[in-house]
Structure 1
Amino acid sequence: MNSGFDDFLTLEVNNLDVDVLTGIYSEETHLPQPLRISIRARLKIADHYDPDTPLSRSKNYMDLKHAATAALPEGQHFTLIEAVADHIIETIFLQDDKVTHVEVKIVKLALSEKGEEIGITMGRGRR
């Protein structure tokens, strides 16, 4: 009987602070801007996870962290934070064919005056 709820597994890495060359300000100063990046990756779920289920049936969340840090090309200026999000999403899809959907939230910390979060959330399904 279908209850209307699909099983899902989402890996999350939240609130990574990363300095990225982005926006007009970075273009003028050649200094990176601080971004707070959160990633959610939805995976094809296994039928069941036993205590000894190997990591290969899921995904290492450090891969998500890598996509938002070391995998961003050093010295590359991204005019839009949308392009940063796109790069992270593409990296995660390339890492693992079990990933079916990726959502990236980017907050521009330099714009915050009183702790508000200003930025974007981008989600893409595997094409």
Structure 2
Amino acid sequence: MRDTLTLEVNDLVVDVLTGIYSEETGKPQPLRISIAARYQIADRYEPDTPLDASKNYMDLKFAASGGLPQGVHFKLIEAVADHICTTLFVQDARVEAVTIKIVKLAIAEANEQIGITLHRERPAAHGA
């Protein structure tokens, strides 16, 4: 097994325009978003290793918050997850794979977690 590095942001609550039912459309609803991004690993991480040898955690947070287009209604939370994955792949060529977990907080009745987990590997380069 090869070495891997996974950066994570967990349990970020973001209001997103999403849903297919009339009571969901037109107003944002809270989603709990967790992101795990597998990253190309450096040979070593020494005490003075600079940040550019890894990825800034705030990039993951941005992809799930400020990186979501304002005013766009996502019918499915799968589309929200897909947008986050695409944003992370575009941000940094060293991101190899992304797993997004989204929980729809507004539909929980007894603290259950209802949602999806989407995993995407970096698309293969054309001509490869």
Tell me the TM-score normalised to structure 2 length.
Answer: 0.92
More helix by share: 1
Q: Confirm whether residue 61 of structure 1 aligns to residue 57 of structure 2.
A: yes
2:89 aligned residue:
93
Identical columns (%): 67
Q: Deviations over 1:68-116 (max 9, x none)?
A: 0001000000000000000000000001011000000000001111111
- Name whichever of 21-30 and 97-106 sits farther off: 21-30
Distance 2:45 2:33 in 1: 29
99 and 28 in structure 1: CA distance in 2 versus 1, 3 angstrom threshold: closer
Equivalent residue number for residue 78 of structure 2: 82
| Residue of 28, 35, 48 corresponding to 1:32 | 28
- The CA RMSD over aligned residues, in Å, is 1.3
Query: Which structure 1 residue ranges, 4+ long, deviate > 3 Å from structure 2?
Result: 25-29
Q: Deviations over 1:17-72 (max 9, x none)?
A: 00000012467641111100000000010111010111101000000000000010
Contact 1:27 1:77 in 2 (8 A): no
Given the alignment of the two structures, is residue 105 of structure 1 paired with residue 101 of structure 2, yes or no?
Answer: yes
Amino acid at match of 1:93: F
Give the number of aligned pairs: 123
Gaps of 5+ in 1: none
Determine the C-alpha separation between the residues in 2 that align with 1:11 and 1:23. 29
Indicate the SS of the match to 1:24.
Answer: coil
Gap change, CA 1:8 and 1:26, over 3 Å in 2: farther
Residue 17 in 1 paired to residue 27 in 2? no
Q: Normalized against structure 1, the TM-score is what?
A: 0.93
